[in-house]
Amino acid sequence: MVGWEIIRGLGVTFKHFAETYFDDLKWLGKPRYSQERAAARSSLDSRGAFTVQYPEEKLVIPEEFRYIPFLIYDEGPDGEKIDRCTSCGICAKVCPPQCIWIVRTNDPVTGRPIPEPAEFYIDVDICMNCGLCAEFCPFDAIKMDHDFEIATTNRMATDIFDKQRLSQPASYYASIRPTNFAAEEKARREKEAAKAAAAAAKRPAPPAPGKGPVAG
């Protein structure tokens, strides 16, 4: 029938419109703004249109969301910070807008490079959140953060993040990207096990009992 498809299309729009209000009924008697409500309404089960009342409510951030990169450090047995970054400079080379710069550490006596950065800066006004630095880092030392609330009233003074501002413990990375963290840890353990097995295979077998060198 002529015009039937137009009526069907309008029906879809009307259904979406009506569902917006039916979905609201589920939240009657509950607090007007809540994180529970924001999470439910931004999930795949939500129906109709919805508005998130930021900053009282915030959308649930998916694991692969990326904003400004951060540097990971591991914690040693005495709680000391061990930088994963070796200041190899790969991230700075691949960064499209060239907003990373690194100062390497040198041994004060020999002058030879030490594999950790003395300084590490990212200009967050230039960073375009592409994630290439994190993808190319061979040491899983730089990852993309979820924290997007970095607005400031004095960007000239605050928007060049230094090493201290960028550094986060590995536990923070595990908390915001649990799937990625678990996969990387598994790969790391497998690599270490393979290395240990290869080293063990290269070691000469101990002499058989009774065939050792005879003292003269």
Q: Rule CB under 6 A: which residues touch ligand SF4?
A: 69, 85-91, 95-97, 99-100, 102, 122, 127-133, 137, 139, 141-142
Q: Nearest approach, Cβ of 78 to ligand SF4 (angstroms)?
A: 23
Q: Which two tokens stand for residue 129?
A: 């959140």
Of residues 38 and 99, the one with the C-beta less far from ligand SF4 = 99
Q: Identify the sign of the CA torsion 179, 185, 189, 191.
A: positive
Q: Which run of H or E residues covers position 74? A: strand 69-75
Q: Which C-beta is closer to ligand SF4: that of 40 or that of 132?
A: 132
Q: How far is the CB of 35 from ligand SF4 (least distance, A)?
A: 28
Q: Which is nearer to ligand SF4, 41 or 66 (CB)?
A: 66
Name the minimum Å distance from CB 102 to ligand SF4. Answer: 6
Measured from the CB atom, the residue of 38 and 137 that comes closer to ligand SF4 is: 137
Give 122 or 176: the residue with its C-beta nearer to ligand SF4: 122
CB of 80 to ligand SF4, least distance (A): 18
Find, among 78, 75, 91, 87, the residue nearest to 170 by Cα: 75
Give the nearer residue to ligand SF4 in terms of CB position, either 38 or 144.
144
DSSP H or E stretch at residue 198: helix 178-202
Contacts of 144 (CB under 8 A, 6+ apart): 65, 66, 67, 68, 69, 70, 129, 131, 134
Is residue 123 helix, strand or coil?
Answer: strand
**Cα distance between residue 208 and residue 16, in whole Å:** 80
Of the candidates 120, 29, 125, the residue with the CA atom closest to the CA atom of residue 71? 120
To ligand SF4, the closest distance from the beta carbon of 69 in angstroms equals 5
Closest CB 110 distance from ligand SF4, rounded Å: 21
Give the list of residues 6+ apart from residue 164 with CB closer than 8 angstroms, or none.
Answer: none
